[in-house]
């Protein structure tokens, strides 16, 4: 064995060791027991479409073949759906991979990127991971603050501004007009990275209509939420063809697995299933809002598949989260930074799961000192 010390690249060597998300499996290992309820990662407990499951099962038998690295058929289907050209669609192993490709494609070491303080942790992870400089702007009224984001971008000459809409972890949303205003307010050459992971759950008027060739905008979508395929790893970007070609210069060409591509295609072919999931999720949000209010907590408005519930203080939210896990074996998560860190964040489960959550939350709160 050699004792030569390892010398990492400058960027990687300077990064701290952090764990972006502790998974439910790690808690199960720690507790030595299975969770009763897994409603922390905004997964869809309504599952993938049966058509997607059948397609993925069938594809498993052909998993010896590499995927089509051009993702031709799926990109055609997505282009039809979004009324754009196939050249405007980039596939990725989940939205996370596309966020990474975006940062890598546009950010040189030290260049500024603007997002909300406490916004989606994985985007921040990628900005740090490629040596970008994160500039963050506080939420305002528990929502992304588009005027402050634009002002910060102008002030630091940001290359990228990240906006999740609807937002994670707040569940809040901006309407289409507000987003177009933000786009217009960005400094020249700045790109809005619009993470629309929760797009399927929105009402009309929330998703802006934009030219896919608009060089100020990259939209990111995923099959992880309404389509219930988080574990399959597949998402896509809608972007100018020149951006898609830039991704082609650096992406893992065979990285979007065959099973996920087949599953995604089948899922696109089952709009009735997705519409039903969206209806069930809306009913579930209403359940959570009622459950929270019944227990004296305040639910934040949400247009996603989760609800942030205000517990009154960070200490109380932490206590609720920890006790739910340790005493009730219920896995939820919570935002990490103010002002949202007074909330717990609960993903919409099935009706029996919501009933189980309500009981568990009631017991935990009964045992906590009043706020």
Q: Which of residues 294-333 bind its own copies (CB under 8 A)?
A: none
Is residue 167 near its own copies by the rule CB under 8 A? no
Tokens of 242: 């020149």
Binding-site member from 194, 246, 292, 364 for its own copies (CB under 8 A): 246
Q: Are 277 and 44 in contact (CB under 8 A)?
A: yes
Is residue 219 near its own copies by the rule CB under 8 A? no
Return the range that interacts with its own copies (CB under 8 A); candidates 3-11, 166-174, 281-289, 319-327: 3-11
DSSP, collapsed to helix, strand or coil, labels residue 109 as coil
Is residue 147 near its own copies by the rule CB under 8 A? no
Binding-site member from 43, 195, 200, 287 for its own copies (CB under 8 A): 43
The footprint of its own copies on residues 96-135 (CB under 8 A) is 96-97, 100, 104-108, 122, 129
Q: Are 49 and 267 in contact (CB under 8 A)?
A: yes
DSSP string, 40-69: SS---TT-S-HHHHHHHHHHHTTTTSPP-T
* Rounded Cα distance, 84 and 209, in Å: 12
Return the range that interacts with its own copies (CB under 8 A); candidates 90-98, 136-144, 163-171, 334-342: 90-98
* Rounded Cα distance, 181 and 343, in Å: 29
Strands 298-299 and 235-238: unpaired
The footprint of its own copies on residues 182-201 (CB under 8 A) is 188-189, 191
The residue (of 268 and 300) whose beta carbon lies closer to its own copies is 268
- Give the x-and-dash track for 250-289 against its own copies (CB under 8 A): x-xxxx-xxxx--x--------------------------
Tell me which residue of 203, 290, 276 sits closest to 50, measured CA to CA.
276
**Shortest distance (Å) from residue 337 CB to its own copies:** 19
* Rounded Cα distance, 271 and 80, in Å: 14
The footprint of its own copies on residues 60-79 (CB under 8 A) is 60-70, 72
Is residue 20 near its own copies by the rule CB under 8 A? yes
């Amino acid at each position: 064995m050699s004792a030569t010390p390892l010398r990492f690249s400058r960027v990687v060597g300077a990064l701290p060791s952090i764990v972006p998300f502790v998974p439910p499996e790690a808690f199960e290992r720690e507790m030595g027991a299975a969770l009763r309820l897994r409603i922390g990662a905004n997964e869809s407990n309504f599952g993938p479409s049966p058509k997607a499951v059948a397609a993925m099962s069938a594809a498993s038998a052909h998993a010896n073949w590499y995927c089509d690295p051009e993702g031709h058929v799926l990109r055609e289907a997505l282009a039809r759906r979004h009324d754009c050209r196939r050249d405007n669609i980039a596939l990725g192993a989940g939205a996370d991979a596309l966020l990474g490709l975006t940062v890598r494609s546009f950010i040189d070491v030290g260049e500024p990127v603007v997002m909300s303080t406490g916004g989606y942790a994985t985007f921040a992870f990628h900005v740090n991971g490629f040596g970008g400089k994160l500039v963050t702007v506080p939420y305002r009224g528990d929502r992304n603050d588009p005027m402050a984001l634009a002002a910060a971008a102008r002030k630091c000459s940001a290359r990228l501004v990240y906006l999740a809409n609807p937002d994670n972890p707040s569940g809040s949303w901006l309407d289409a007009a507000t987003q177009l205003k933000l786009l217009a307010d960005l400094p020249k050459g700045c790109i809005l990275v619009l993470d629309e992971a929760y797009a399927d759950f929105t009402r009309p008027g929330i998703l802006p209509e934009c030219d896919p060739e608009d060089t100020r905008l990259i939209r990111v979508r995923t099959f992880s939420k309404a389509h219930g395929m988080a574990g399959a790893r597949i998402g896509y970007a809608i972007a100018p063809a020149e951006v898609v070609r830039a991704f082609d210069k650096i992406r893992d060409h065979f990285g979007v697995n065959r099973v996920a591509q087949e599953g995604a295609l089948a899922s696109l072919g089952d709009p009735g299933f997705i519409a039903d999931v969206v209806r069930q999720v809306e009913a579930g949000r209403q359940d959570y809002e009622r459950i929270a209010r019944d227990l004296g907590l305040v639910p934040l408005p949400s247009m996603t598949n989760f609800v942030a519930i205000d517990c009154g203080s960070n200490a109380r939210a932490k206590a609720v989260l920890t006790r739910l896990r340790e005493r009730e074996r219920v896995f939820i998560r919570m935002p990490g930074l103010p002002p949202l860190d007074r909330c717990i964040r609960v993903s919409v489960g099935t009706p029996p799961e919501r009933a189980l959550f309500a009981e568990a939350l009631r017991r935990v709160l009964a045992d906590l000192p009043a706020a």
